[in-house]
Amino acid sequence: MINKNLIFLLSVLVLLLNQIHVNAVDYVPRNIDIERYPKNILVGSYAGGRSHLKPMLDVAAILIERGHNVILLTSGNYEPSSEYPGLKQITLGPKLSARKSKIDLQKDFDYRQMSRIRELTTAGYGKSYEKFNNVAKEYNIDLFFCDAMANEACMDVANNLNKPVVAWSSFLQFVDHKPYKSDPLFGCNISFENESFFERFRCTLIQPLQIAYAFASVERQLNDARNQMNINLASRKGLKFNLALIDNFFGFELPQPLPPNVQEIGPVLSDEYPPLTPELTNFIDKHERVLYIAFGTRVYVRSELNDKLTQVFVEAINNKIIDGVIWALSETSKDDFSPTLSLTDGTQVQTSPILNNEHPHIHVTKFAPQFAVLNHTNTKLFFSHGGAGSTHESLYTGTPMLVLPFGGDQMGNAQRLETAGIALSLNKHSLDVNDILNKIDFLLKDEHIKKNSKRMKYLARINSNRKYKAADLIEYVLYSSGLDEYLDDDFLKEWIPAESRMGFIKANNLDVYGFLLGIILTLIGITFKLISNSLSNRKKSKKE
């Protein structure tokens, strides 16, 4: 007992002495300030629209707070001044019409449709290039922050003016392709891990040739347009961008090694979102198991799908699978519904009362504050098209998803969500009412879905702070490019992987392995020759 007391007293004495020592020393605080001076940044997006622009502008808002001047150049008139004060917008051209994007359930929106869209963007390349070029010169732009989708003019102007480029995408496959990954957009699954040899053979060798063939004429047209604009492609030095920011995160995106100049910084979400309207608050508070359905602001859905979904919601409520539905019909009108529907039991249902919000358990609206709806504790399931923004908001709020992908990155997102164990998906070619009802019921009851949703919610929330890292990286590019010592060929060399300069053979040591193989084959040849000569000599000896 005495020994223990002595040990305790000595420990207290040591702690006190340490505290006295700490108080006696004047420590110098670490200076975390960064010497900033205003720069001019151009945010460019050909596609425009809230889904493409909002994450970029959330990063841009941080740069504006740090004193930089940000100019937005995009299609249409986004009018973001209330959300992003200090942002100046210049219109690139008319808004891309959502009505031209009617969903045809019989067609897949894959790389073939993407090539046709590229034809349209290529046709307007000259005008877009002139607009970007004029704005860059007028506002003395120091850095281009370019949406990577169909936005070659933004990057080409930057490269031609020898200005740094930061590319933005939620689609990692566009920026850093890996041989063991693909995407349904390209006709293959997101991972080859469990694929057969023949499927890997098709996706590795045959599918790339088909994609190259589909885009060949578009690439020729684009290069012709570039030649007419006297664009110096040699200035790229093999790279379109200095830094690529990917609005995605580990746990959702399948893991892969990334070069230093490609950074995952998602999910990028705003600090504030519009609240629920009194009408929505009143509805959602009265229902404990709400299904929220929205297909984004650009999708116009035809009547065949609307009718089937209406039947599903009515039957799900009648069967007590859910007790409420909030349906956001952004681009769809009441004329896109049949007047009467037949339920599975033969009952006839009029759609007009549903669309006029006369049904006590279905609320139809043109617009819903999506994040606020998903964040409400009574919202138990999100029926979505699987767009990047909707997916990130659902992951952040821990809301399981039923995904009906129409095309583009939505198909890959659906597979990623299923891999993460928080969603099920539907095939638009084989929609069945009973199948949808069974999947809704499963998603609401399965314990693994609930556990995985909770796990992904933590991941999404932890990673949502990386938009500040994105702003930090943009500033590093911005300030490094303005220093005289970085204006030579070594600008940002520390970010660019050596393989981009070494070439495929040298970077993969194929010349070394080839030399080793040559040595091995030579030794095998010599050994074979010696054995052959030995056998020949024995035969001669026997004959003699």
Chain CA centroid to CA 302, Å: 27
Band of the pLDDT at 506, cuts 50, 70, 90? Answer: confident
Among residues 488, 407, 426, 474, which one has the least CA distance to residue 168? 474
Average pLDDT over residues 108-126: 78
Q: For 163-186, how does the pLDDT look when each residue is reduced to its tens digit (9 = 90+)?
A: 999 999 998 888 888 899 999 989
Could you tell me the sign of the dihedral formed by the alpha carbons of 389, 390, 393, 395, in that order?
negative
Over the stretch 290-310, which tens digit does the pLDDT of each residue have? 999 998 766 666 678 888 999
Residue 6: what pLDDT? Answer: 62
Residue 123: partners with Cβ closer than 8 Å, 6 or more residues away:
221
Write down the pLDDT at residue 22. Answer: 52
Q: In this model, does residue 105 exceed pLDDT 60?
A: no
SS3 assignment for 135-157:
HHHHCCCCEEEEECCCCHHHHHH
Write down the pLDDT at residue 51. 76
Residue 99: band (very low, low, confident or very high) from pLDDT cuts 50, 70, 90:
very low
State residue 435's pLDDT score: 95
Q: What is the pLDDT of residues 194-245, one digit of tens each?
A: 999 999 999 999 999 999 998 888 888 888 888 887 776 655 544 578 899 9
Q: What is the pLDDT of residue 325?
A: 96
Q: Please check the confidence at residue 97 and state whether its pLDDT lies above 70.
A: no
| CA angle at 325 for the pair 320 and 327, rounded to the nearest 5° | 155
Write out the H or E segment, with its range, that includes residue 418: helix 410-419
Residue 25: what pLDDT? 61
Kindly list the structural domains of the chain, giving each domain's residue range(s) and its CATH number in brackets, ordered by start: 40-264 (3.40.50.2000), 278-462 (3.40.50.2000)
Alpha helix ranges (H) inside 286-398: 303-318, 351-355, 370-375, 388-397
Q: What pLDDT was estimated at residue 253?
A: 92
Instruction: Give the pLDDT band (50/70/90) at residue 248.
Output: very high
Higher pLDDT, 229 or 279: 279
pLDDT at 540 over 80: no
pLDDT of residue 19: 64
Whether the per-residue pLDDT at 70 is higher than 90: the answer is yes
pLDDT tens figures, 471-487: 999 999 888 865 554 44
**Mean of the pLDDT values across residues 51-73?**
92
